Structures are given as structure tokens and as C-alpha cells.
Structure 1
Amino acid sequence: MKQYEDMKKNGVLLIHGAGLGSFIWDELIPLLNLPALAVDFPNRKKGDKVNLQLSFKHYSDAVIQQVEQWNIESFVIVAHSVGGCVGLKVAEHFGKRVIGFVGISSVIPSDGNSFISCLPFPQKVIMPVILKIAGTKPPKKAIEIGLCHDLTDMQCQSIMENFTPESKALFKEKCKAEIPNVKKLYIKLLNDQEFPTSMQEKMAENMNTQNIATIESGHLPMLSHTNELAKILNDFC
């Protein structure tokens, strides 16, 4: 009975990364021992330009609104990639309801800074120029290399079909949120083509945790190494 009551009390909040959506967690959720809420950033599957005018606050507010409708007393935040920036703001908003924070190859800015502030040189200088010229939807080949290199053809096709360009503000604006004072875990992805391991190690340092797990996967372990990721998250929770 106690285990059942705990499951009603605690949950896992899943925050995806840029261009993606809650669909990336579909295979993982049934393997988790706690109820899970996979949230969506604004305007999934609604065209290439609909998010252009959104601010960073629009993203964090969208997630907060979804959590406020979730009948869970307290929860662990699991944030992937740029979802780490949004996750910090969500953690700040809900305060003591947040009982843990997990970053999966996630960007964790120090001092409330932006996604771009976390990039190594020279990417930190080049990224704003790329966003200005090319926008936030990478070419098909770049998505294949960065996100899909260890996925099945079907999984890669799903990523391509569902990829949603984000607002530049998601990457450029400061999250203005502190690192939560809760138990934390950083999951480092050893074959990640998006973020090098050196950057991930720096993000774990920014998160102020020495609790680090590793997976031999690319940027989307919830698809390529689902069982392994589920075990890590269940052990943490």
C-alpha cells in the first residue's frame, strides 16, 4: 500500500530538447516506476515560422501551465538538451515541489545565463550568426548526423517529420534561474554528436553535482537506449 501511495504522490516530469516534442518519451514512459508527464514546448507540428516571435518566457510558461494541470504533489525534473534551461526556470517556479533534477546531455547555464553562453569557443561566437542567417531548423543532413546517427530508420523518419523550428530566443535569452538545491544527476552521453563530452562535463559542474551516469549513446538515449535510461532514472527516483 505504501508503494502505491508514493506513486500517487511523486512523479517524473519529462522535458524534451529543441525541435523535438513529447513523442520522444513514448517508449520510455511505460518503463518508469513513477507516473510521468511528458510536456511539449509551444506549437508542435504547426509550421516552420509560428514560433519566431516567442520569448524564452513563453517556453517556460507553457511547461509550467501543463504541470499545473498535473495532479501530482511533487516531482523529479528530467530535462534533455536545451530543456535544461527551461527546466531550471520550472524548478524555480515550483520550489519545494521539485524533489530532484536530472539532466540528459542538457545545457545548464551558470548564473542564470543563456544556452549560447554554455557553448565552447568558437561555437559561442558563431551560433548567433548561424541563427540570424539560417534560423533554427538545421538542414536534413545535420539532423541526421546530430540526432539520428544511432537511431533506426523509422525513428529517424519520426524525428524528421515532427521537427519543429524554435524561436531564437530559446537559445539567446537568459533563463534567469538558479540551480535548484535538490538531489541532482547528470547523464553523460558518450557518443553524442551534438554536445561533446567536455561540454557535458562542464554542464554537470554547473549543475553542482558529482552524481554522473554515462550511456554509450547519441543525443537521444530515450530512443536508442530506452531500457538503460529507464533503469538509471528508476534507480535515481
Structure 2
Amino acid sequence: MTQFVLVAGAWFGAWAWRDVVPHLRAAGHGVHPLTLSGLAEKQGAAAGQQTHVQDVVDEVERLGLRDVVLVGHSYSGIPVGQAAERLGDRLAHVVFVDSDVPADGESFVSGWPAGRAGVEASIAAHGGLWPPPAPADCAGQGLGDEQIARMLDGATPHPGATLTEPAVLDRPLGLLPATYVMCLLDRPEPSPAVAALLTSGRWELVTLETGHWPMFSQPRELAGVLLDAAGKGA
């Protein structure tokens, strides 16, 4: 039985996977959505990027999980990619859902050269937290009004230090068995970093005809991709 550990991106907690979880459990697998420190029900907890890496590792070890498919969405691809390296033989596969990927010595904002100053200024202006997006930021992403409202009603400010601290990798990320899920309404082509990883021979590209938050817009289809990834990790 595969054990899925699901980690949502910036501003969201375990609750964001609500519509995906039933499909995975119906297929007979264990499912463990995780809220990272400082978010959702864990608001107020101090968190840097390595805190989030350790959150993931600790959850897997606390539950004694093996045959783990580790799933990181958006920002969470960065801590998930680092945690995956530290899980050893507990790890079966990693799925990066329309996510950033870690690069040793680089931060989340490093990958946003055009937007870095704006993100850092927003964090500074909001007491070290990155405020959630506005409804207009969700336009064109395959979401209905009700989905946008539910998504943003649950969003909480994101700990800024997790976005500005550098990643730490012990070996090339391309050595991980991985699937990258690209959401075509968000980006039509993989980023240069992801494109390079896809040449490693251990990474596979899958596309979804939806936007950046497929756990809200296409939960059944996303669950299907995750189940396919579980088969690859078997």
C-alpha cells in the first residue's frame, strides 16, 4: 500500500487536499495531508525553509511510513525536494505539482528574478509574512467563483523566511524518481530548471489542462496522476 504525503503550496494547509484525498483512499492507499509550520492551524509557529523540510521528514518518521509518494505543490516543491533526499529507502516517488524545485544555495524568491523585489517588499510590509493572493490573482486558472472563494477563505499569510532562505541539497535532484505535473493554464512550457531535470532519465513530465491549483480545479484528474505515480514507485 502506497502512503501519500501531500504538502500544499504557499498560504495553504492540509485542508487544501480535501477533494483529492477520497480518490486516493478509495484506491486503497494511505493518505497523509500535512500542514507546514506557520500555516493554517499552525499559524504563529516560527518557520524558516529548513523548518518546513524537517516538518515533512518528521511526519514520515513519526508515522513510520514506507513506500512513500511525496507530493509538493507550488512553493512546497522546494522543501519536499529536500526532504525526499533525506527519506532514504522510505521514499518510492516524488510528485512536483506545478511547483518550484530546489536548487542548492538558492531560495524560492531566487527563482522569481522579475518579482523578487515585490515579494520581499510585501513580506517586509506585513511583519515578515507574505499575504495571500487576491481574487484577481486567481483569474484564468480554471477555477469557478465558489472554488476561488473556498481557496482564499482558507488561506493564511505565509512565513516569509521560508521564501528567502536557501535550499540545501546533498546530491543532484535529478537522481530522485520523480513526476513533474505542469498545469497548462499556468505555464505552457516547463521552467529551465525543470526542463533540465527532465533530461535526467528519472523524471517524467505530465500535463493537466487546468491552472495552478489543480487540487481545487481538477481534484479527480490530479488524483489520477498521483495514482499513476504510485504505480511507478512500486
**TM-score in terms of structure 1 length:** 0.81
What is the root-mean-square deviation in Å for CA atoms of aligned residues? Answer: 2.5
1:90 pairs with one of 83, 86, 96: 83
Shift of 1:57: 2.0
**Partner residue of 1:158 out of 150, 154, 166:** 150
- What are the within-5 Å matches in structure 2 for residues 215-234 of structure 1? 215-234=208-227
Tell me the residue number matched to 2:13. Answer: 21
| 1:227 counterpart SS class | helix
SS, match of residue 78 in structure 1: strand
**Cα drift, residue 47 of structure 1:** 9.0
Unaligned runs of at least 5 residues, structure 1: 1-6
**Which residue of structure 2 lines up, in the alignment, with residue 36 of structure 1?**
31
Q: Is the 8 A contact 2:4 2:30 kept in 1?
A: yes
Equivalent positions of 1:66-81 (< 5 A) are 66-81=59-74
| Segments ≥4 residues shifted beyond 6 Å | none
Helix, strand or coil at the partner of 2:222:
helix
Match of 1:202 in 2: 192
The offset of 1:150, in angstroms, is 2.6
Q: 1:230 to 1:236 in 2, by over 3 A?
A: same
Unaligned runs of 5+ in 2: none
Paired residues for 1:10-159 under 5 Å: 10-32=2-24, 33=27, 34-45=29-40, 50-51=44-45, 53-119=46-112, 121-134=113-126, 135-138=129-132, 140-141=134-135, 144-146=136-138, 149-159=141-151
Alpha-carbon spacing, 1:94–1:176, altered in 2? closer, same or farther (3 Å)? same
Task: Supply the distance in 1 between the matched residues of 2:122 and 2:157 (Cα, whole angstroms).
Answer: 14
Q: Give the letter for the 2:192 counterpart.
A: K
Query: TM-score of the superposition, structure 2-length normalised?
Result: 0.82
Quote how far apart the aligned CAs of 1:189 are: 0.6
Q: What is the aligned residue count?
A: 220
Is the Cα–Cα contact under 8 Å of residues 151 and 223 in structure 1 kept in the other structure? yes
Distance 1:92 1:182 in 2: 8
Identity of aligned residues (%): 24
TM-superposed CA distance for 1:226, in Å, is: 1.5
Report Cα offsets for 1:65-121 as digits up to 9, x if no partner. 2222224222111110011011022112212211211111110032342111222x3
Letter in 2 for 1:219: H
For 1:72, the aligned partner's letter is L
Secondary structure of 2:104's partner?
helix
